[in-house]
Amino acid sequence: MAPNRKLLYKGDVNRIYDDEYKASQAAKKEKLFIRPSRQRKMKNAKWFGIGMGIDLPFCIILLVLLTIGTIMMFSASYAFAYYTQSDSYYFLIRQLIFVVVGIIAMGVMSFFNYNKLHKIAPLVLGIAYVCLLAVLVLPAGDGGVKRWIPLGMFNIQPSEIAKFAVILFFAHWASKYYDKMQLAKFSVLPGIIVFGSIAMLLFLEPHYSGIVIIGMLTVLMLYIGGMKTKYLLIGGVILGGLVLVLAVTGGLSYAMSRMDGWGQALEYTTEEMWQTTWQTRNSLYAIGSGGLWGLGLGQSRQKYLYLPEPQNDFIFAIVVEELGLIGAAIILLIFALLVWRGITLSLRSKDKFGKLLGIGLTSQIGIQVVLNILVITDWLPNTGISLPFFSYGGSSLIMLLAQMGIVLSISRTANIERQ
């Protein structure tokens, strides 16, 4: 308790004031010595740390994957680049440009208030529709497909924008109508309208792997958003019936052609089947050649014009050949850690929108990794699914890094105690 100065003599009062003054001056001196270190800690906390800055473990895992992916992309591509472009560094130089642009986009988005995306989710979905429509009026690319909007050395793939738009829109929708998501008109109906319209546009390209991924993302977002399980079962039956009708009527001729030779890469019986299964068969050769420890970094044999375009969808076959089963398992473990960390951060977000958005963006990585591995091992037909952070491509890499920046933005408000 403070002393009652009315009962003290004048000398005692002066002594008390003098002691308080000295104590205040000592406290100020202490602050002068301590404050710089505290300022440095607070400055670091704004960059890294849960609840105060972007999540450091997530950043490290992501940068490790990106570094390994870039190295392996160069290792897989330099022979093909020299043969087709007379420059072994052709794909590497461009990929490094995409990496720099993507990291800048990730940094910008990590400081962007992700809640502002809540308001513009319908607008982003509209932009995705415009891009999907625009690509249909442009000249067809290799193989007669229309999947890219050319912009000089950089091509935009509208399906990558559509993936993000679908995740964002359903995170917005489910968080806005969370209490009503068990009703079909608030879950099933929006899902059918959005996915159905996007699937139709992708069908015209055609881009069936994009339809599969966006369909899986739609189901995921609606389910975690509160949709009843029985609607998933009913939707699955309806979708299966639709696919069957299209297959019988010839509407899936392109997709059926991609299924020729599925599961028969090592059991070819005719010359035609030999050519059809060429890519998948050489993928299996590469995986088998790697063994337990691999042939060594840069020592792949299948990348020397045996495996077509090894820097793209089948890059992981080269990874297994050079790094072996052990190296491939470690990379898959790093992917699993990235997905786990991203979902953990998202679940600790303080708002429903952040939870749904973060889970959706992180789950896209896991979905594409699983599908890519199933394709290169002939468990799924060759449908052209890129491996995140490994496969060559600008729009995919930049979009993924920007989306990971949003996850980092969500981590700033994650309700987790700092370690």
Task: Look at residue 193 and tell me whether its pLDDT is greater than 90.
Answer: yes
Q: Which of 50-54, 61-65, 378-382 has the lowest mean pLDDT?
A: 50-54
Cβ neighbours of residue 304 under 8 Å, at least 6 residues apart?
79
Give the pLDDT confidence score for residue 159 in this predicted structure.
Answer: 93
Q: What local confidence, expressed as pLDDT, does residue 298 receive?
A: 93
- Write down the pLDDT at residue 45: 42
Q: Write down the pLDDT at residue 22.
A: 59
How far apart (Å, rounded) are the C-alpha atoms in residues 222 and 363? 13
pLDDT one-digit tens code per residue, 114-159: 999 999 999 999 999 999 999 998 887 766 778 888 877 678 899 9
Q: How many helices (H) and strands (E) does the chain have?
A: 14, 2
Q: What is the pLDDT of residue 30?
A: 44
Contact 357, 117 (CB under 8 A): yes
DSSP code of 6? Answer: G
Listed residue (389, 406, 407, 386) closest to 398, CA to CA: 389
- What is the token pair recorded at 57? 């473990």
pLDDT at residue 32 is higher than 50:
no
Instruction: Supply the pLDDT for residue 12.
Output: 52
Cα 99 from Cα 94, distance rounded (Å)? 9
The amino acid occupying position 144 is: G
Confidence (pLDDT) at 241? 75
Length of the chain: 419
Q: In terms of pLDDT, which residue wins out, 297 or 54?
A: 297
Give the pLDDT score at 206.
85
Q: Give residue 415's pLDDT.
A: 57
Q: What is the pLDDT of residues 344-399, one digit of tens each?
A: 999 999 899 999 999 999 999 999 999 999 999 999 888 889 999 999 988 899 99
Contact status, residue 318 vs residue 286, Cβ threshold 8 Å:
yes
Residue 201: pLDDT over 60: yes
For the chain, what is the largest distance between any 2 Cα atoms, rounded to a whole number of angstroms? 114
Alpha carbons 113 and 289: distance in angstroms, whole number: 48
pLDDT band at 9 (very low <50, low <70, confident <90, very high): very low
For 74-106, give one letter per residue: b (16+ CB within 10 A) or e: bbbbbbbbeeeeeeeebbbebbeebbebbbebb
Residue 44's pLDDT band, with cuts at 50, 70 and 90, is: very low
Segments making up each domain of the chain, as ranges: 51-411
Q: Please, is 127 exposed, middle or buried when counting C-beta atoms within 10 Å of its C-beta (0-12, 13-18, 19+)?
A: middle
pLDDT of residue 336: 97
Residue 286's pLDDT is 95
Separation CA 359–CA 406 (nearest Å): 11
Q: Treating both helix axes as pointing N-terminal to C-terminal, what angle do 208-224 and 184-204 enclose, rounded to 10 degrees?
A: 170
End-to-end CA distance of the chain: give it in Å, rounded: 38
Q: Tell me which of 20-34, 73-87, 324-338 is least confident.
A: 20-34
Q: Measured between alpha carbons, how far is 110 from 115 in angstroms, rounded to an integer?
A: 12
Chain-centroid distance, C-alpha 355: 16
Q: Residue 285 pLDDT > 60, yes or no?
A: yes
**Contact at 8 Å (CB) between 305 and 79?**
yes
Instruction: Identify the band that residue 239 occupies on the pLDDT scale cut at 50, 70 and 90.
Output: confident
pLDDT in tens, 298-308: 999 999 999 99
pLDDT above 50 (res 40): no
